[in-house]
Amino acid sequence: MSRYLLPLNRSPLEASLADAGQFNLDPTPLRWQADANRCPTEFLPWLAWARSVEGFDAASSEDRQRALIRQSIDIHKRKGTVAAVRDVFRVLGLGEVTIEQGRSGYRRDGTRTRTAFNKRGNRADAWAEYRVVCYSRLTVQQAAIGRQMLVDIAPARCHLFELDFSHAALTRNGLASRNGSYTRGST
């Protein structure tokens, strides 16, 4: 077949080489390489690299890796937004989060509780700081993965103040042990 693609002034050697290099290959599996659902497992890291997927190594299972690859285009479209941070936390299995932005400008009127994050008055250095409040129990390793992922996803002008998971802190209910893999609230 490829012999007929050569120009009319082809030499006999060129025609013989075209015949010898003709392969009967089915190109269908090559199309599957770019599909996160049908890509073979051993090629998933390459597909993630090609799509610039953040947090791929942090995904704990193959299903979560495939989900990250599927959502990578949407995450890149919304990169630097609160919604992108929430989506990546969900896909990695780190649970639901709330992002609180800006540490200054709070008044003592009872609407906010005074914490290390909330600062009273207007301070020029605190507008770009934010914290992520997680509602599920995180290990120290998961918190480190979350911090690493936020460097890639969050806006470059913003600075992470803390990951706060005190809403799902380590309690004495037997679900987690005090062996150093959990902390009590924030990192």
pLDDT of residue 70: 92
> Residues 177, 178, 179, 181: is their CA dihedral positive or negative?
positive
Structure token digits, residue 144: 């480190």
Question: pTM (2 decimals)?
Answer: 0.60
Question: Residues 88-104: what's their mean pLDDT?
Answer: 81
> Residues 169, 173, 177, 178: is their CA dihedral positive or negative?
positive
Ramachandran region of residue 132, left (φ > 0), alpha (ψ -120 to 50) or beta? beta
Residue 61 has pLDDT above 70, yes or no: yes
Report how far residue 164's alpha carbon sits from residue 131's, in angstroms, rounded to the nearest whole number.
7
Residue 130 phi, psi dihedral angles, 5° rounding? -145, 165
Task: Give the best-scoring range by mean pLDDT among 52-56, 61-65, 94-98.
Answer: 61-65
* pLDDT tens-place string over residues 102-137: 776 566 666 665 566 666 656 666 777 888 888 887
Please give the mean pLDDT across all residues of the chain.
Answer: 79
Provide CB contacts within 8 A for 54, sequence distance 6+.
75, 88, 149, 152, 153
Question: DSSP states of 12-70 as a string?
Answer: HHHHHHHHHT------HHHHHTT-TTTS-GGGHHHHHHHTT-TTTTT--SHHHHHHHHH
Place of tokens 């919604």: 83
Residue 169 has pLDDT above 60, yes or no: no
* pLDDT tens-place string over residues 15-55: 888 888 777 777 777 788 889 999 999 999 999 999 988 77
Provide the pLDDT confidence category of residue 160 given band limits of 50, 70 and 90. Answer: confident
pLDDT of residue 170: 56
